[in-house]
Amino acid sequence: MNAGGEESDRLGGGDQRGYRDGGDRHGPSGRSGRRATLLVLADGRMPTGGHAHSGGVEAAVTDGSLASLPDLAAFLLGRLHTAGLVAAAFAAATCHGIATGRTDVAELDDELDARTPSPAQRAASRAQGRTLLRAGRAAWPVPAGPRAPHHPVALGMVAAGARLAPGDAALAAAHATVTGPATAATRLIGLDPLAVTAVLARLADDVEATADAGEAASALPTRELPALTAVRLDLLAERHRVTALRMFTS
């Protein structure tokens, strides 16, 4: 915990928490493989619920603000640096909290509620968290926790069950923040899938930086964890819920 108020806005000291027990990532520990499996589980194309959610893309297409590849790139960048950072921090904090026993997973889940004012987004996040947990439990001994946690908390739980590190959970969270919406955009407005893949490839450094920032921030007291908001995403989520004709749940 922080020593005092003067420290309140400073980030934690980075990765000095000894998650090296997974061994060399190319060694026989299997961590690379588990990390790859986690990324696949988090991917929007897996039948873990992500394929049913566009992360606001469908509503943005409907209101005309997302109609082209550059629009998609700007959308993904804006989503990554707000919701993506929050997700990365909470995935890492959950994984860290389980590994150390120092943070209550339910408390993190409540804190995400407070960071998600849109009821539609809360419902979408919990629906995806629940299905991710089911898939994760089929693969690894995922520790007990909320039945339908927010998606980043579920990612952290699954990562902990796979004996992965908080940084791995953060990377999966940041990755999932952009891949699901990108896939949805391909389907919704007929963008060239190869061009969309190129957009994602150009975002790779931002995804990694977001994961790193989220992991670093995860050492903060829970109430001070990142809470960056994207106002249009909130409004788009609510607008989508009352739309009669829609392909995606959110």
Partner 1 sequence: MPTTADAVPPPTTGRTGRTAVRAHAAVRVDLGPNGAPRLVELRSDVPIVLRLTDVSPARAGVAEGAKPVPTMTVHLVNGAAGPLAGDDLRLDISVGGGVCLVMRSVAATVALPGHGPGPSRLIVTAEVADGGELDFGPEPTVVADGADHRMITEIRLAATARLRLREEILLGRFGEPTGSVLSTLRVDVAHADGTAGDGTAGDGTAGAVGAVGALRTGGTSGGMPLLRQELLLGPRVPGLRGPAQLGGARAVGSLLVAGPEWAGPGPEPAVAEGVGRLPLTGPGYLVSALADDAVTLRRLLTAASDSAG
Binding site for partner 1 (CB under 8 A): 2, 4-11, 56, 60, 65-66, 71, 73-82, 85, 107, 110-111, 113-115, 117-120, 122, 206, 209-210, 213, 216-217, 221-223, 225-236, 238-239, 241-242
**Minimum CB distance to partner 1 smaller for 34 or for 126:** 126
Closest approach, Cβ 75 to partner 1, in A, equals: 5
Closest approach, Cβ 128 to partner 1, in A, equals: 17
Q: How far is CA 123 from CA 24, 100, 129, 149, in A?
A: 38, 29, 10, 10
**Minimum CB distance to partner 1 smaller for 53 or for 163:** 53
Closest approach, Cβ 149 to partner 1, in A, equals: 13
Question: Measured between alpha carbons, how far is 118 from 122 in angstroms, rounded to an integer?
Answer: 6
Provide the phi-psi class of 246: left if phi over 0, else alpha when psi is between -120 and 50, else beta: beta
**Minimum CB distance to partner 1 smaller for 21 or for 113:** 113
Closest approach, Cβ 21 to partner 1, in A, equals: 27
Closest approach, Cβ 23 to partner 1, in A, equals: 30
Closest approach, Cβ 220 to partner 1, in A, equals: 9
**Minimum CB distance to partner 1 smaller for 148 or for 235:** 235
**Minimum CB distance to partner 1 smaller for 32 or for 62:** 62
**Minimum CB distance to partner 1 smaller for 173 or for 230:** 230
CA atoms in the 13 A half-sphere facing the CB of 98: 28
* 65 close to 55: Cβ distance less than 8 angstroms: no
How crowded is residue 250: how many other Cβ atoms within 10 Å of its Cβ? 25
Question: Measured between alpha carbons, how far is 118 from 107 in angstroms, rounded to an integer?
Answer: 19
Helices 204-217 and 166-189 pack at an angle, to 10 degrees, of 140
* 75 close to 208: Cβ distance less than 8 angstroms: no
